[in-house]
Amino acid sequence: MQNNDDSKTKYTHIPVLAAPFIDGWLTDPDGCYVDATFGRGGHSRMLLSKLSEKGRLLGLDRDYQAVKEGQRLEKEDARFTMCHTDFAGMEHVLADIGWSKVQGIGFDLGVSSPQIDQAERGFSFQKEGPLDMRMNPDEGQTVSERLKSVSERDLVKILRDFGDERFAGRIARGILKAVHAGDMETTKQLENICFHATPPKARHGSTHPATRTFQALRIWVNDEYGQIETAVRCAMKHLEVDGHLSVISFHSGEDRRIRDFIEAEVHPCKCPREFPICVCHKTPTMAWVQKKPIRATEDELDGNARSRSAMLRIAKRVA
């Protein structure tokens, strides 16, 4: 495990949509809860402040720096337990600590501000750093390593599917040319390729030409969509009836996956509309508490630019 520790540095994370997220997550102050994306623990601390002495909170994160922060909170608050895992390991962690059912699970998806702000993590095109982007730097390959073995066709698909990138073909060709020349090791090299592969008229809009490519490659290298699927399945299995699932996402691809998954549980009946009665007998296991995403208020936007794209959906288990 790497040991650089950001706890005493300037790297902090302001929790987004804090009040509605906590309200959507907490149903019983005596209950057991999971914060599946602990980050720097902003949301966790708020939830703990509303739990009784009996209440319990489990924090999870795949990032070792987040885990270090969680281990500090464990020492301060006996109701809290921190585990280093990705969503795929959530099932095992719950089994290990003996929680078969929980009253609420919260997800604040994506990356934290400290991950973006630390140049050496390679998430930001605004800072020169190694082209890494792994949330757990001890696992898997960096973006620059993965790019050495991807085909042009697959790369175009990654940029389109995970980044909605209009100029996916041009950017993919530019990236692979640089990979073959040995020039795709740093964030600034990738930023430069994205900028020059984007047609001049589209280079100076409100979104930097590298934004979508960085998003797409981050989702790819961390298997974020595969992780989300595993996570919501696990959440469904372990949520108590009346327990809440509260999810913050930051872009349409994430939000769509969450919405579609919950919607399939809310409306499981697949009988043709013209059937007078349901014959499949599939009944809802979830109900929306908040279907239309909650967004940041103007006040929150003023204090935290990161909240601009945040969308919160809340659902509860009904059977």
Ligand X SMILES: C[S@@+](CC[C@H](N)C(=O)[O-])C[C@H]1O[C@@H](n2cnc3c(N)ncnc32)[C@H](O)[C@@H]1O
Q: Mask: binding to ligand X, 110-129, rule CB under 6 A, as x and -?
A: xxx-----------------
β-pairing, 311-317 vs 286-294, is antiparallel
CA distances, 235 to each of 21, 33, 189, 243, 317 (Å): 16, 11, 39, 10, 10
| The two structure tokens encoding residue 19 | 């009040």
User: Does residue 17 belong to the site contacting ligand X (CB under 6 A)?
Assistant: no
Q: How many residues bind ligand X (CB under 6 A)?
A: 21
Determine contact, residues 95/83, Cβ cutoff 8 Å: no
Of the candidate residues 34, 58, 62, 162, the single one contacting ligand X (CB under 6 A):
62
Of the candidate residues 20, 31, 41, 55, the single one contacting ligand X (CB under 6 A):
41
Dihedral (C-alpha) 48, 50, 54, 58: value to the nearest 10 degrees? -30
Residue placing its CB nearer to ligand X in the complex, 108 or 300: 108
Of 3-11, 48-56, 59-67, 253-261, the window that binds ligand X (rule: CB under 6 A) is 59-67
CA distances, 238 to each of 34, 63, 70 (Å): 10, 23, 22
Determine contact, residues 60/80, Cβ cutoff 8 Å: no
Residue placing its CB nearer to ligand X in the complex, 168 or 234: 234
User: Does residue 132 belong to the site contacting ligand X (CB under 6 A)?
Assistant: no
Q: Shortest distance, CB of residue 115 to ligand X, whole angstroms?
A: 6
Helices (H), the chain: 18-25, 42-50, 64-76, 90-97, 113-117, 143-147, 152-163, 168-180, 187-197, 211-221, 224-238, 252-266, 298-303
Residue placing its CB nearer to ligand X in the complex, 20 or 110: 110
Residue with nearest beta carbon to ligand X: 39
Distance, CA of 13 to CA of 11 (rounded, Å): 7
**Interface of this chain with ligand X, residues 198 to 237, rule: CB under 6 A:** 227
Of the candidate residues 31, 47, 83, 108, the single one contacting ligand X (CB under 6 A):
108
Q: Mask: binding to ligand X, 159-198, rule CB under 6 A, as x and -?
A: ----------------------------------------
Q: Shortest distance, CB of residue 1 to ligand X, whole angstroms?
A: 14
User: Does residue 37 belong to the site contacting ligand X (CB under 6 A)?
Assistant: yes
- Residue in 9, 56, 10, 3 with CA at minimum distance from that of residue 29: 56
Determine contact, residues 217/175, Cβ cutoff 8 Å: no
Q: Mask: binding to ligand X, 246-275, rule CB under 6 A, as x and -?
A: ------------------------------
Residue placing its CB nearer to ligand X in the complex, 86 or 265: 86
Distance, CA of 82 to CA of 34 (rounded, Å): 10
| The two structure tokens encoding residue 20 | 């509605």
User: Does residue 304 belong to the site contacting ligand X (CB under 6 A)?
Assistant: no
Residues in touch with ligand X (CB under 6 A): 13, 15, 37, 39-43, 60-63, 66, 86-87, 108, 110-112, 135, 227
